[in-house]
């Protein structure tokens, strides 16, 4: 994988992790988390889209 693509993937993953952390700590609710995650650049590189976002949030929140 190219360095640029790897960087983009890592950046998207870190952004999603930060948002999930806010959700877990109670700073934001699920609706806000969904909105924020869908705005993350290069979200497609981490396998998240509008069809599976709710499942991703649920799984991350339950397993936190």
Task: Calculate the average pLDDT of the chain.
Answer: 93
Count Cβ atoms below 10 Å from residue 33 Cβ, excluding itself: 23
Q: Is the model's pLDDT at 62 over the cut of 70?
A: yes
CA distances from 56 to 3, 34, 37, 42, 46 (A): 26, 9, 10, 16, 11
Mean pLDDT of 20-24: 94
Entry pTM = 0.89
């Amino acid at each position: 994988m190219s360095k640029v693509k790897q960087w983009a993937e890592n950046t998207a993953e870190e952004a999603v992790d930060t948002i999930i952390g806010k959700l877990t700590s109670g700073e934001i609710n699920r609706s806000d988390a969904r909105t924020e995650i869908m705005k993350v650049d290069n979200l497609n590189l981490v396998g998240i889209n509008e069809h599976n976002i709710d499942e991703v949030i649920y799984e991350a929140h339950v397993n936190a």
